Structure 1
């Protein structure tokens, strides 16, 4: 389903998957599986938040998938007008921040302009969440891009590889108020390189995406 939805495009909000009855069900399970593979258990987080409008159906999918596994999660969404959140209070909660597709591609713009390149928008969202009294466990996405695609004389990536795992990195976040820096883990279920035209048609990509078809 993801391969069909992306179909060689550099970016999509994945609505053809996340609003599909089967796609949403699978996406919720796949995201929880990706977190588990990255070393997180159900005891590590209390709530999941949508960074963009594209992530709202995914947050709902994760909630339902967690319920099926006996885990109680709350959800919230970033307020796209006022610097706050919408949903149950996250004060004192350990939260995940979720998007459909997060990338280091500098030209990618999502519905709230969240990208991993330089991370200004993501830093703002993290600052808002922190001031709500929550601690950020990780940033997660269904599709993600962590590869370096610019020349060596360009701005360096804010992400660094952890344990040589291509699905997990740490994102450098700079608080917009006090300039405090921290590294927040980033976990994606599928690397965007799997869906590039020269790779997406290969057998390896077919195998990796089989569970989403």
Structure 2
């Protein structure tokens, strides 16, 4: 019977004697969970990403960003990585999803910042009007996010974004500029831009103008293979 003073409990207690995989081999889920919990958060995220990208030339990492373990740490790790690169949470006002794959990252960063007593908004770039979905970014400093940005990820879930020649990001930048926002950098869980100080060349397909933006990657693709 459910406790009338609280939420109904869901799920069942973990089996003390473990479970069995498809091949019939015994596995101790509790031991695996304990081993994972003993890792540093960055190593936890690395292990989840390596498992998700195994055998795949490219994926959107949904198996990580929607996993309860990944979702609980990825926002903090992105904030920490940005700070290591000189972008404290006080230095930007909002984070924006370049693609649908980055939407859970935006939510995770908002929650992580809130847990630190910081106000951070989010938004999604889209080709369907209105092009910016979320609180107004007029006059705001923003960081643009993606899950995996490398030469393999040129086919994206947003028609606004194409990465070519390794580090040329063709982005309808007028969408952001029209809102009066200042883009400080682009960040991604996995990056594949082979530079000592990675940058993304942003090309405005409307007028052909181009400039470089700092590229902040949590993990470099070659370090995960």
Instruction: State if a TM-score over 0.5 links the two structures.
Output: yes
Listed one character per residue, the Cα deviations across residues 2-23 of structure 1 (whole Å, up to 9, x for unaligned) are: 1111113111111111111220
Listed one character per residue, the Cα deviations across residues 31-84 of structure 1 (whole Å, up to 9, x for unaligned) are: 111101111112210000111111111100011111112210111001232372
Aligned twin of 1:92? 139
Of the three residues 124, 128, 134, the one matched with 2:181 is 134
Say whether residues 1:28 and 2:57 are aligned partners: no
TM-score between the two structures when normalised by the length of structure 1? 0.76
Listed one character per residue, the Cα deviations across residues 158-204 of structure 1 (whole Å, up to 9, x for unaligned) are: xxx3xx35xxx1211122333332211110101111222xxxxxxxx
Of the three residues 188, 201, 205, the one matched with 1:176 is 205
Helix, strand or coil: the match of 1:186?
strand
Deviation at residue 122 of structure 1 after TM alignment? 4.0
Query: Separation in 1 of the partners of 2:102 and 2:86?
Result: 22
CA contact (8 A) 1:51 1:97 kept: yes
Deviation at residue 109 of structure 1 after TM alignment? 1.8
Q: Which has the higher contact order (CA 8 A, sep 6+)?
A: 1
Task: Give the root-mean-square deviation of aligned CA atoms.
Answer: 1.9
Structure 1 gaps, min length 5 = 148-160, 197-213
Q: Which has the larger radius of gyration?
A: 2
CA contact (8 A) 2:169 2:200 kept: no
Q: How does 1:117-156 map to 2 (within 5 A)?
A: 117-118=164-165, 122-124=170-172, 126-147=173-194
Deviation at residue 115 of structure 1 after TM alignment? 4.2
CA contact (8 A) 1:90 1:132 kept: yes
TM-score between the two structures when normalised by the length of structure 2? 0.72
Query: Separation in 2 of the partners of 1:180 and 1:9?
Result: 34
